[in-house]
């Protein structure tokens, strides 16, 4: 069974701006907390946030969009790290009209003059060298972009993958992805990002298979390979249209740190459909497409039990929390799945659950248990 309450946000069809406004700020706060925890021994904390699709600061219904929410979080943070002193923000858009409106919106915020680092508002690639200088100083940076959008966003992503290693939060529609790849020329930035060999394999796959879903899955797998080859941890969340067998958006995240990856994974649990065994599918509105084929799920508690049973040399005498943090990367498994799996292994006599304080066997597996393989 699911271990968190699900959110009904995606039961209604959502635009890119709505999805971004719902998710990005929540993750931004979690990301800041995770990165700063890793900098706890430094005295000169510094973070950067770059939004390459900032828009004009408002959703269609007039509610604040992501840039305003981000600055609200920066100014209003009350934890031990004062984000107002630490975070530099950069908001870029290709549309000059939106940039002008955004500038006006941000400067009218009641706390604007109290921001230690005023938001830098940019218009496309004229400021690439400025951002390049910032990122060349090893400032941990969260970048929001659409990899299949305008040229500057692709240039920033390409440089991040090759040089900077930024954490990248991406949101895009499959229709835009297909169109961009179909019209990509050999000397385009997108072709440079994918590489000639990968572009050729996509073209061959398209010629061989006409099914739209198979094509979409192949492109997404190919896109994910770009980052995994550079040792990024990747997270993919598929958003389908309500009650339709059609993808609306993909949320795609890439990071080189486990904690940043796990923070997003934990955030997206409340939006995800679940399998019958409690493993999240990390997608919205997709369960109706898959529920008849549970035996074909790649990730299941049954498969987790089998995998963990064979990992005695890795996980003997380790707490479940440590096992979870190591093993869950790149999978759909969550904390509760590991407790359930080790309970099954305990019943079958493969492991014992040891109390970390008394060092005595426990009747039931808890998340604090130390796992001893027999």
More confident residue, 128 or 365: 365
Ranges 25-29, 34-38, 177-181, 324-328: which has the least confidence: 34-38
Q: In 280-317, which positions are buried (b, 16+ CB within 10 angstroms) versus exposed (e)?
A: bbbbbbbeeeeeeeeeebebbbebbbeebbeeeeebee
Residue-wise pLDDT for 174-187, tens only, equals 999 999 999 999 98
Cα–chain-centroid distance for residue 45?
Answer: 23
Query: In angstroms, rounded to a whole number, what is the distance separating the alpha carbons of residues 271 and 356?
Result: 34
Residue identified by tokens 């229709």 is 175
Residue-wise pLDDT for 114-123, tens only, equals 999 999 998 8
Residues, the chain: 374
Question: What is each CA distance from 79 to 22, 115, 231, 279, 346, in whole angstroms?
Answer: 22, 17, 31, 32, 40
Cβ atoms of 48 and 134 within 8 Å: the answer is yes
- Confidence check: pLDDT of 237 > 80: yes
Residue-wise pLDDT for 147-164, tens only, equals 999 888 898 899 888 877
More confident residue, 298 or 347: 347
Q: What is the pLDDT of residue 245?
A: 86
Rounded mean pLDDT, 72-101: 88
Residue-wise pLDDT for 44-82, tens only, equals 788 999 999 999 999 988 899 999 999 999 998 766 678
pTM score > 0.75 for this model?
A: yes
Query: In angstroms, rounded to a whole number, what is the distance separating the alpha carbons of residues 49 and 283?
Result: 26
Residue-wise pLDDT for 295-315, tens only, equals 468 899 999 999 999 999 999
């Amino acid at each position: 069974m699911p271990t968190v309450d699900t959110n009904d946000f995606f039961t209604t069809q959502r635009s890119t701006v709505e999805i971004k406004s719902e998710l990005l700020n929540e993750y931004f706060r979690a990301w800041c907390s995770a990165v700063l925890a890793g900098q706890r021994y430094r005295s000169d904390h510094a973070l950067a946030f770059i939004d390459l699709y900032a828009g004009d600061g408002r959703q269609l219904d007039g509610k604040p969009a992501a840039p305003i929410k981000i600055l609200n979080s920066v100014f209003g943070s009350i934890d031990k790290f004062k984000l107002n002193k630490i975070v530099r923000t950069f908001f870029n858009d290709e549309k000059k009209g939106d940039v002008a409106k955004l500038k006006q919106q941000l400067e009218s915020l009641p706390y604007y003059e109290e921001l230690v680092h005023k938001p830098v508002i940019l218009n496309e690639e004229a400021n690439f060298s400025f951002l390049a200088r910032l990122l060349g100083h090893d400032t941990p940076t969260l970048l929001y972009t659409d990899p299949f959008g305008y040229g500057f966003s692709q240039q920033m992503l390409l440089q991040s993958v090759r040089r900077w290693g930024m954490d990248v939060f991406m949101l895009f529609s499959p229709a835009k992805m297909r169109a961009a790849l179909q019209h990509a020329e050999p000397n385009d930035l997108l072709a440079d990002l994918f590489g000639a060999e990968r572009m050729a394999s996509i073209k061959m796959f398209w010629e061989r298979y006409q099914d739209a879903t198979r094509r979409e899955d192949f492109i997404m797998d190919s896109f994910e390979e770009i980052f995994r080859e550079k040792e990024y941890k990747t997270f993919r969340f598929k958003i389908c249209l309500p009650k339709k067998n059609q993808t609306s958006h993909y949320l795609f995240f890439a990071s080189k740190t486990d904690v940043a990856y796990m923070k997003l994974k934990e955030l997206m649990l409340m939006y995800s459909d679940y399998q019958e065994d409690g493993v999240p599918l990390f997608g919205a509105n997709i369960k109706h497409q898959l529920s008849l084929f549970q035996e074909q799920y790649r990730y299941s508690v049954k498969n987790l039990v089998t995998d963990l049973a064979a990992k005695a040399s890795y996980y003997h005498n380790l707490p479940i929390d440590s096992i979870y943090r190591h093993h869950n990367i790149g999978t759909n498994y969550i904390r509760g799945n590991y407790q359930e799996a080790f309970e099954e292994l305990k019943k079958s006599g493969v492991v014992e659950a040891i109390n970390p304080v008394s060092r005595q066997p426990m009747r039931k597996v808890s998340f604090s248990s130390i796992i001893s393989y027999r």
